[in-house]
Chains A and B, each alone.
Chain A
Amino acid sequence: MANNHAHARTHAPAPLGGSLLTPFTLLLGVLSAIAGFILVYRFFYGLGAVTNLNDGYPWGIWIAYDVVVGSAFACGGYVMALLVYIFNKGQYHPLVRPALLASLFGYTLAGVSVIFDLGRWWNFWHIFWPGYAQVNSVMFEVAVCISAYIVVMWIEFSPAFLEKLGMKDVKRKLNKLLFFFIALGVLLPSMHQSSLGSLLVIFGQQIHPLWQSGALLPLIYLMTAILLGFAVVILEATLSSTGFGRPLETKVLTPLSKIMLGLLAAYLALRILDLLWRGALGTAFAFTLEAGMFWIEMAAFVVPLALLAPASARRSASKLFAAAVMLLAGGMLLRINGFLVGYQTGDGWHYFPSFAELMVTVGIIAFEILAYIVIVRKFPVLPAAQPATR
């Protein structure tokens, strides 16, 4: 879909080329393989054989990180589509395709990693089957909506593959309908990213008051998902510029960060007002793990706000990068705190991920980066460094 935007003439995407086998890609491959072995073991011997899950913490990092954080980190494509095609900000067009690719992998892997965590995974299709599907369940909404979005993203991204495969006819037909898939691709993440927060509503007072925002949870999760989308685009643009030795895209990122800053201020206002309104802020001053984690989380949102407030700071690639990294940490902590640190179902339950559990998460991230590298080297994703000429 890259060039069908009116403003997107100068930076046509092109394959990067270059070698696929480097020490870095080799490391990524090894980490992916280790995760693969652990998962094989898990399917033969059960979740308990590799994870530290228990009935007090039935969800661990495979849900809280791989799915809840993982999908939020994959919101770059969603946010760029929202900005470029809904708010008609054509200048960000070159960022769309790489962001969409990262989202495609992030979401596909988040979706696949759900299977690793499902105890009775062979029944997973029940979620989509009338008679089994239970529409009052927040989990139902999340599962259906994420699955639909993964399909929509593959369709949105398919022009890049069709280009390579030389299927111009299919591509032309698809291009005529693309606007509808783009609209779906904005609607669906808005729905499930908010619902990922709604998952916590039914946990009631099992969630610490610092994170049990009740009916505001969907808005809090949606706003931070969009923030993370911005942050991840800045991160990817910076990393792929330095990693592939390409010019920095700071010119595009500077105005982008201004929008991000406004949203960040709005989010912090909402978060603090909610805590005050529910009278929960007092618990942040107790000497507890929860309170400590809360302040780290808040710092990760407040520091980028202060850092990027001066206009000159937003023109600095390193400050943009630092702010993006901190925001990613903040969004991750909000989710980890909500789902794990702030979850307490009764006395005597403890959870910290096992080494094997951590290695699976690391392996999934490694596989994601590896696949991204392979695709941008082989397919037209990143904007060509020099404008193509006829």
Chain B
Amino acid sequence: MDRRYFFKASLAGGAALATGAASCPAQARGNKDLPPEALGLLFDSTLCVGCKACVAACKEANDMPPEFSTQEQYWDTPLDLSGKTLNVIKAYRHGSVEQKDRAENGYAFIKKSCMHCVDPSCVSACPVSAMQKDPKTGVVTYDKEACIGCRYCVAACPFGVPRFTYDKALPQISKCQLCVHRHKDGKYAACAEVCPTGATLYGTVADIQKEIARRKTLEPGKQAMFPRGKLGGPDQSYPNVVGTYLDHTYGEKEFGGTQMLMLTGVPFEKLGYPDLPPRSDAALSETLQHTLYGGLIAPIAVLGALTFIAKRNVKPEDEEGEPHGK
């Protein structure tokens, strides 16, 4: 009887623990915070002239093969990100294509490369830590030596950034890593380094946010100075005409924020960027996992209860296959 009572008590305790774990709000996590020295890019669509120097420089800096979309395979002509292309400039065209940075009868250029999310889905999805977010700079990196090639990151990313080399027997994921491999030589993201108009700028997210605030105060149509290359680096600024910006800075709030921020004159949905909620999907996914499995409390409690019940119901018999009449 004593033993029975003990088991009953532990069962009740286990159930209580399980309920506790399942309803513990302390386990919930919100979006992650921007790392202290977050690095990123500013893409200003109104400055981009569509020369694609950044696409070529990216290929060279990352040793990526050319990709052809035309009959004559003379030069690299990627149409989208792929296993061979980490950065691409796409064109928006509408109607008579008369005026730049206008949605109606206009055109615009837009950059596609990793957004370096503050709370990236790919990092949360990756089962083997191949996708990592640098705790200091926030750069989202990929380690092919760790990767198992499950492509959960490819499926999870709302921007369609990580890509996979399906044509290879020994495949890997391809994504922009903000040229971290060039940092040790004092270099930075090749796309920003070569951009002739400063449409793509490299810098800390803090500096980028200041630059965005400055641009929004400028008067459209007037002349102003625009930095090129790296914010906080050597002065390469030049005068240009101020574009007409939408209020919306893409990446400021989307999905818990991104470290690539974008200014345009054309709404982002038209440029192929999804309208995303302010909460990251990683936050909900991890809250759910931590609620169910945090500290393995709930599974162990349930296992305890199941073991107790199974022990009572499963009776080891002397011999199998020789049934006794009872």
Contacts and interface: CB of A to CB of B under 8 A. Distances in A.
A276 to B, nearest CB: 20
A170 interface: no
B179 interface: no
B314 A178 contact: yes
A123 B144 CA distance: 10
- Main SS at interface, chain B: loop
- Main SS at interface, chain A: helix
Contacts of B150: 117-119, 139
B169 A55 contact: no
Interface in A330-349: 343, 345-347
A49 B165 CA distance: 11
Nearest to B143: A132
Given A46-B166, A159-B320, A346-B272, A121 B149 contact: yes
B149 A127 contact: no
A84 B286 CA distance: 34
A179 B311 contact: yes
B167 A119 contact: no
B307 A179 contact: yes
Contacts of A137: 124-127, 152
A9 B155 contact: no
Nearest to B168: A46
Contacts, number: 228
Given A86-B306, A120-B147, A203 B311 contact: no
A242 B308 CA distance: 38
B191 interface: no
B128 to A, nearest CB: 4
B154 A55 contact: yes
Contact of A120 (B172, B274, B289, B306): B172
A58 B164 contact: yes
Interface stretch (A182-190, A243-251, A302-310, A320-328): A182-190
Contact of B151 (A58, A126, A171): A58
A75 to B, nearest CB: 16
A299 interface: no
A88 B313 contact: yes
A163 B314 contact: no
A172 to B, nearest CB: 8
A201 B148 contact: no
A136 B320 contact: no
B266 interface: no
A384 B128 CA distance: 47
B276 interface: yes
A132 to B, nearest CB: 5
Given A126-B146, A187-B302, A390-B322, A201 B284 contact: yes
B315 interface: yes
19 contacts: A3-B323, A4-B315, A4-B320, A12-B322, A12-B323, A46-B168, A117-B150, A119-B151, A123-B147, A132-B129, A137-B126, A138-B285, A138-B289, A141-B289, A159-B320, A190-B302, A191-B299, A198-B289, A343-B155
Given A1-B314, A49-B167, A51-B166, 16 more contacts: A3-B323, A6-B315, A9-B325, A9-B326, A55-B82, A123-B149, A127-B128, A180-B311, A183-B309, A187-B302, A187-B306, A191-B299, A202-B285, A204-B276, A204-B277, A205-B277
The 4 closest A-B pairs by CB, nearest first: A119-B149, A48-B166, A120-B149, A183-B306
